[in-house]
Amino acid sequence: MLGTEKALGLTERPPRDGPGHRCHAHVPEAADEGPPGRDDVRVGSVRGWQADDLGPAPDDDRDPVAGVQVDGHRDRDEPERDSPGRPHHKSSRGMPHPLRMRPTRPRTRLDEGVTRVASMNRTTPPRPLDVEALFPELAAHRGTTTRLHPRPGRPGVSESSVGGPMLWPADEPWPVCTEVHGRGRGRRLEDVRRRREVLAAAYAREPYEGLTEEELRLVEELEREHLVPGASENDPLPMIGLAQLYARDVPDLPAGPGGADLLQVFWCPFDAHRPTGYSTLLHLRWRRAAEVADVLTSPPRPEVVGYEGYVPEPCALHPEQVVTYPFAGLLPEDLCARIDAWEEALEEEAEEQEDEADPVAYQYDLSIPPGWRAGGYASWHKTDPYPMDCPTCATPMTLLLTVDTSEWDGGTGSWTPLEDQGLHPHPAAVPTGVVVGNHGELNVFTCPADPGHPPRWSVQ
């Protein structure tokens, strides 16, 4: 019942002729496409669905440092999303080609018996090769992004966190969703968390043999939906605090408006918003942390959630700045084509040698890291690039934040931090419990001309 086998496909790299591989890719007319059927949401195998719309703020769209936007979709009936983590059947990739790759592979260090000590830091291994040595023009496109590396913890209001307590003024209304949608039926937050504990305990057993009868019964009980008596379709619904980022902790966090140094991100726990009726609703709040005197200690919570992936586990962050390069389809056409040809040659070579390991790839190993991060470049692997211009002033927007379902997976294992190598992917690679789209990522964009302009977002 855990559905892990069904989720296997999610870890595979998509075929080269799928979205995300083409140079100067076709821009989909995304906004008026309808929600996908089940077969349309396979990662990379079929064109995904993406939409973007300008939704109203749920509470106060006149606030210059707040804004909301609508996007995102998930197939509500999709069974595999409920699996406890994405198995990593490609997690042990082979050594890269000795002539092309730099020899540094972090696993070597661990294999040599270096004692791993508890560390507050997370360290991205060196990339398997120096991509700028192969494609010197990439130097002009080099950027940085800050991997947030959320890990279970007990963050306080004065710390950056995912799923931790917000530095929220006691006298300021908590963000609520007022869009009309069902909110009287769903899972209880405590049930969602308890179920995760049960599954994590089962996964921790060696050898893993699944759940006991007793655990199965408990999990079934915890998966039950509950009704909220008297709930109407437009009751103000408390949003869930998803993350807060202090600028001092996150070097690549784009500047906030008016000297704001704290970004707080909320979302409604239902897949029920415009434009599709299945979209995610975010609410962003920038503030100056020093102005918060009395902190709200017991924020309101929704009684039930429409989907457990909206419930983040409290995680402390271990920010790490790394080098990043743009999504291939957004590079100059000639450069993209040469990267494509290089990858094809590597793949052919691997096929000839019947090497089951994936060869190094620009998209998966060299350009954009997986996991939660701030700043840098957005990946468009599911839909192909889509114009992301400011709805207020038409300036092309920049990536503010990526909310990712997993910190690494079978396709992106080379980014697994040194400190996490060898850990069981569940729960190590899915520390937040957050699930976006079809085990994908949510990219939130901000206006570089005026960060007070409303954000936009896209699900990949």
Nearest distance from C-beta of residue 265 to Zn ion, angstroms: 15
**Distance between CA atoms of 252 and 90, rounded to whole angstroms?**
31
Nearer to Zn ion, 62 or 117 (CB): 62
Nearer to Zn ion, 321 or 392 (CB): 392
Q: Which residue has the tokens 């279970």?
A: 152
Annotate 47-81 with DSSP letters as a single string: -----EE-PPPSS-TT-TTEEEEEE----TT-SGG
Judged by CB under 5 A, the chain residues 411 through 450 that form the site for Zn ion are 447, 449-450
| Cα separation, 349 vs 343, whole angstroms | 10
Q: How many chain residues interact with Zn ion (CB under 5 A)?
A: 12
**Cβ 181 to Zn ion shortest distance, Å:** 6
Here's the x/- map for Zn ion, 131-170, by CB under 5 A: it reads as ----------------------------------------
Report the residue from 33, 106, 392, 424 that binds Zn ion according to the rule CB under 5 A.
Answer: 392
The binder of Zn ion chosen from 70, 192, 265, 390 (CB under 5 A)? 390
**Among 111, 151, 141, 149, residue whose Cα is nearest residue 366:** 141
Cβ proximity to Zn ion: between 104 and 234 the closer is 234
Binding residue for Zn ion (CB under 5 A) from 65, 177, 189, 305? Answer: 177
x/- site string to Zn ion, residues 348 to 387, per CB under 5 A?
Answer: ----------------------------------------
As measured in angstroms, the least distance from the Cβ of 390 to Zn ion is 3
By the rule CB under 5 A, 346 interacts with Zn ion: no
CA–CA dist 391, 389 (Å, integer): 6
Do strands 240-246 and 161-162 pair parallel, antiparallel, or not at all (unpaired)?
Answer: antiparallel
By CB under 5 A, what part of segment 236-295 binds Zn ion?
A: 268, 270
C-beta of 177: minimal distance to Zn ion in Å? 3
Give the nearer residue to Zn ion in terms of CB position, either 149 or 453.
453
Q: Say which DSSP state 364 is in.
A: I
- For residue 291, CA distances in Å to 66, 91, 121, 249 come to 16, 46, 30, 18
- State which residue, 121 or 395, has the beta carbon closest to Zn ion: 395
Min dist. Cβ of residue 435 to Zn ion (A): 17
Q: Could you tell me whether strands 143-147 and 373-374 are parallel, antiparallel, or unpaired per DSSP bridges?
A: antiparallel
What is d(CA 266, CA 130) in angstroms, rounded to the nearest whole number? 38
Confirm if 456 and 388 have CB atoms less than 8 A apart: yes
200, two tokens: 């994590």
- Whole-angstrom distance, CA of residue 139 vs CA of residue 131: 9
- Please state the closest distance from residue 405 (CB atom) to Zn ion, in A: 20
- For Zn ion, the closer of residues 147 and 285 by Cβ is 285
Nearest distance from residue 28's CB to Zn ion, in Å?
23
Q: What are the structure tokens assigned to 397, written together? A: 């927007």
Single out the residue of 308, 453, 454, 458 in contact with Zn ion (rule: CB under 5 A): 453
Q: Among 119-127, 137-145, 186-194, 389-397, which window interacts with Zn ion (CB under 5 A)?
A: 389-397
Closest distance to Zn ion from the beta carbon of 241 (Å): 15
11, 410 Cβ separation under 8 angstroms: yes
- Give yes or no for a contact between 325 and 139, defined as CB atoms under 8 angstroms apart: no
DSSP 3-state assignment of 301? coil
Q: Which stretch binds Zn ion (CB under 5 A): 173-181, 222-230, 284-292, 316-324?
A: 173-181
Q: What's the CA gap between 297 and 341, in Å, rounded?
A: 56
* C-alpha distance from residue 401 to each of 61, 148, 245 (Å): 20, 10, 10
Task: State in Å, rounded, how far the first CA of the chain is from the last one.
Answer: 26
Residues in the chain: 460
Rounded least distance, CB 272 to Zn ion, Å: 6
Burial (CB count within 10 angstroms: exposed 0-12, middle 13-18, buried 19+), residue 228: middle
Q: Considering only 14-22, 171-179, 404-412, 419-427, which stretch makes contact with Zn ion by CB under 5 A?
A: 171-179
Residue whose CB is less far from Zn ion, 144 or 395: 395
Closest contact distance (angstroms) between CB of 389 and Zn ion is 8
Residues forming contacts to Zn ion in the complex (CB under 5 A) are 177, 179, 268, 270, 390, 392-393, 395, 447, 449-450, 453
